[in-house]
Amino acid sequence: LLKLGRVFGEECGLHEDAAVVLERATELAKTDLTTGMVTEFTELQGVMGKEYALLDGESPEVAEAIFEQYLPRFAGDVLPQTEAGKVLSIIDKVDNIVATFSRGLIPTGSQDPYALRRQTIGILNILLGSEWNISLRPIFKASMELLNVASDKQEELLNQVEEFFTLRLKNIFLDRKVPHHVIDLLLSNNELSVADAEGLVNALLANRIDENVELVQAYTRMYNLVKDVEYTGVNSDLLKEDAEKALFESASKASEASLAAWEAGDYAAVVAVPATLVPTINQFFEDVMVMDKDEAIKANRLQLVRLAYSVMAIIGDISALK
């Protein structure tokens, strides 16, 4: 847990003071499990840890983090409030989840004897309520290394854990009455952090691009053309038609705007970008024959469509909105 805490702290840029509290709280996190009180009344784990820490002269911050490691304990429970408590709660749960998955004990149906679903939802709710825009993948990988998971098994295990988290996040959004197709769009992008997903879902619901039929049609048309095309770049010297020159210019500008919006965490701007390309895309398909007889021109036009498609696809698979 100490090592996982350091990895998480680096990922989220944990303040030095919080890192010191986290380290001390982690060292003491499980000591109350050895006491007669907690052996007799197991539901007091963490509660007694906090009290014993205070009686033993530990700082209130360390004591609180010891208590918060088990939060949330049930649906609707309070979430950790301190930085150290949030991290300790997350890494403890990640350790439990990855360790249990590595033994092949993945929950199926209604069977979840180790409460892995609850712990996963707890992690997600902590992240949704935090300022941390981080990927959990480095934490999962670090946990696998610490558990000595065989290197040839790690990719499969990582995929299983990430899929488990994705399904729990889907359930959280469904509970919020987010439309199925909006969730499918979000979760088609497996590079999203939890914070990105939260920001995007709010922006999508405000923008309602799912009601923009022309946008979905333009995206689907491009997808069908370039789904198997790898982007290697557009040669502007081979652009002959006004419509393809216009698309290259607007797609390049839209790409810059979209990336800048991502960097700034301006999800409303990210979601608004794809629709700005629709008129130029429609004009391109009306005026330009993509499958030109000249192989070089044909290949370049496919690259141009791939560029425009990539700008749209930055938020996920828009065809999910059909």
Domain regions of the chain by residue span: 2-177, 207-321
- Please tell me the distance from the alpha carbon of residue 281 to that of residue 229, in angstroms, as a whole number: 18
Dihedral of alpha carbons 319, 199, 9, 22, sign: negative
Measure the CA–CA gap between 257 and 283, rounded to whole angstroms.
21
So what's the pLDDT on residue 285?
Answer: 94
Q: What is the pTM of this model?
A: 0.85
pLDDT for res 317: 83
pLDDT at 33: 97
User: Of 94-98, 99-103, 110-114, which gets the smallest average pLDDT?
Assistant: 110-114
The tokens of 303 are what?
A: 């690259």
Express each pLDDT in 171-226 by its tens digit. Answer: 999 999 999 888 988 888 777 889 888 999 999 889 888 788 898 899 889 988 99
Q: At what angle do helices 180-187 and 151-175 cross, to 10 degrees?
A: 150
Which residues 6+ apart lie within 8 Å of 222 measured at CB?
281, 305, 308, 309, 312
Which listed CATH number (3.30.1280.10, 1.10.3720.10, 1.10.730.10, 2.40.128.520) goes with 207-321?
A: 1.10.730.10
Taking 90 as the threshold, does the pLDDT of residue 38 lie above it? yes
239 CB-near residues (< 8 Å, 6+ apart): 245, 248, 300, 304
More confident residue, 51 or 319: 51
CB neighbours of 186 closer than 8 A, spacing ≥ 6? 173, 192, 197, 200, 201, 204, 315, 316
Comparing CA positions, the residue from 315, 215, 311 lying closest to residue 254 is 311
d(CA 204, CA 56) in angstroms, rounded, equals 50
Q: How confident is the model at residue 315 (pLDDT cuts 50, 70, 90)?
A: confident
